[in-house]
Amino acid sequence: MDARAIIARLRRHEVPSAAELTWFAQGLADGTVSDAQAGAFAMGVCMGRLGPKGRAALTLAMRDTGDVLHWDFDGPVIDKHSTGGVGDCISLVLAPALAECGAYVPMISGRGLGHTGGTLDKMEAIPGVTTQLGPDRLAQVVRDTGAAIVGATARIAPADKRLYAIRDVTATVESLDLITASILSKKLAASPDALVLDVKLGSGAFMKSADEARALARALTETANAAGCRTSALITDMNQPLAPSLGNALEVGEVMRVLTGGHADDPLAQLSAELGGVLLADTGLAPDAVSGAARIAAIISDGRAAERFGRMIAAVGGPVQFVENWQRFLPEATVIREVPARDSGYVTAIDGEALGLAVVALGGGRQVESDTVDPSVGLSRVIRLGASVRAGTSLATIHAARQEAAEAAEATLRAAITIGPEPVAAPPLIHERITP
């Protein structure tokens, strides 16, 4: 086959065959396809549409350029993926809760992207934790503890790694077909029996509108189900941070408060239960999503998920007594300051993307790939939508390494939180459910 012929088909708005997409994906992985050809391919897909069959073919082709993991467990293998938001640390709550239900959760996660935090960065805020495990070690940890949250090795979907880097510099990131293939080629490489997708919607999400979020959720679920993995999606709200903290160690602290404090009404606990309930129903571990959610909620509130989390952390190198002494182990910033409101009224809007970028600027994320992340910095006690404030009410607490960084974050935070004269209703936690 010839890369030029495949690119020409895309230029004519034709969908390449499954065999052609398989050849091109392999060329991305082994270098047969040049950077120029990869960029032209990405632009061709971006300017046209692969459609459901082409999208599924590209996803499986990219998956199969690397290792596809296989398991020998006595229960279902399940996974969850979020499209990215702020204050979103659900994976750390959900993985141990699902393991306590008899599922196995080899969760291959990523680092921060843009304004959104990365699950691996949060895990690595815990001293000693390693997120890079080989396949044999990963299987052993999951067998022993029921769950592990790790990074993808270089042998997982290498075509995606190459194409993603090309997309980043050719303005072709925002293609529904390419986003779907990128996400699912890595997730399906872990061979889950069931997958739930948390598709974020709102100011702190990549998808700002309901139509965008719905289109992505449907593309992802249709493609994953066509590939043989039972997949459902929830479109969830990201018009404000899910947890009241942003930043790696601060978000781990929120996870521990939920796991050890019985905060059943916390949005982090509620959404974890809803997502987990879908997975339990889809794998037959619960009769339906409602009873599955109730089971997850009980496991979180009575401490069983916390105990399982502690075992998981110890198995990947973290402190043995982390759950009992988590405040002692998590790093703290040297500069901590509150941001008081200057006006009275109600919180009517929160720019979640701006808050996320403020955390990146503090050092809690990467502006370039080589940046070192400071796990201690971020924002905590971020005020909620609809809250009544008076002049002097704290809008948030800044955790910074330097005073000047804290001052810059304060200016960003003030601009990101709108205070108006009339109250607004808080948006629903779940906007829509998409099932097979």
Is 81 assigned a catalytic role?
A: yes
**Which residue of the set 22, 63, 64, 81 is catalytic?**
81
**Which residue of the set 79, 88, 193, 282 is catalytic?**
79
**Which residue of the set 22, 65, 82, 109 is catalytic?**
82
Q: Backbone phi, then psi, for 322, in 5-degree steps?
A: -65, -45
> Which of 298, 299, 295, 303 has the alpha carbon at shortest distance from 260?
303
**Which residue of the set 187, 214, 295, 399 is catalytic?**
187
Q: Please tell me what DSSP assigns to residue 135.
A: H
**Which residue of the set 55, 111, 162, 167 is catalytic?**
167
Is 308 assigned a catalytic role?
A: no
Is 186 assigned a catalytic role?
A: yes
d(CA 21, CA 31): 15
Is 431 assigned a catalytic role?
A: no
> Which of 274, 279, 251 has the alpha carbon at shortest distance from 264?
274
Q: 406 to each of 203, 251, 419, how far by Cα in Å?
A: 23, 18, 21
**Which residue of the set 59, 182, 231, 397 is catalytic?**
182
- Nearest 5°: the CA angle 191, 207, 91 is 40
Is 13 assigned a catalytic role?
A: no
Is 53 assigned a catalytic role?
A: no
**Which residue of the set 59, 83, 116, 119 is catalytic?**
119
**23 — alpha (psi -120 to 50), left (phi > 0) or beta?**
alpha
Burial class (CB in 10 A: 0-12, 13-18, 19+), 181: buried
Cβ contacts of 408 within 8 Å, gap of 6 or more: 358, 361
Is 390 assigned a catalytic role?
A: no
**Which residue of the set 80, 122, 295, 431 is catalytic?**
80
**Which residue of the set 186, 214, 257, 431 is catalytic?**
186
Is 122 assigned a catalytic role?
A: no
Is 208 assigned a catalytic role?
A: no
Catalytic residues: 79-82, 119, 167, 182, 186-187
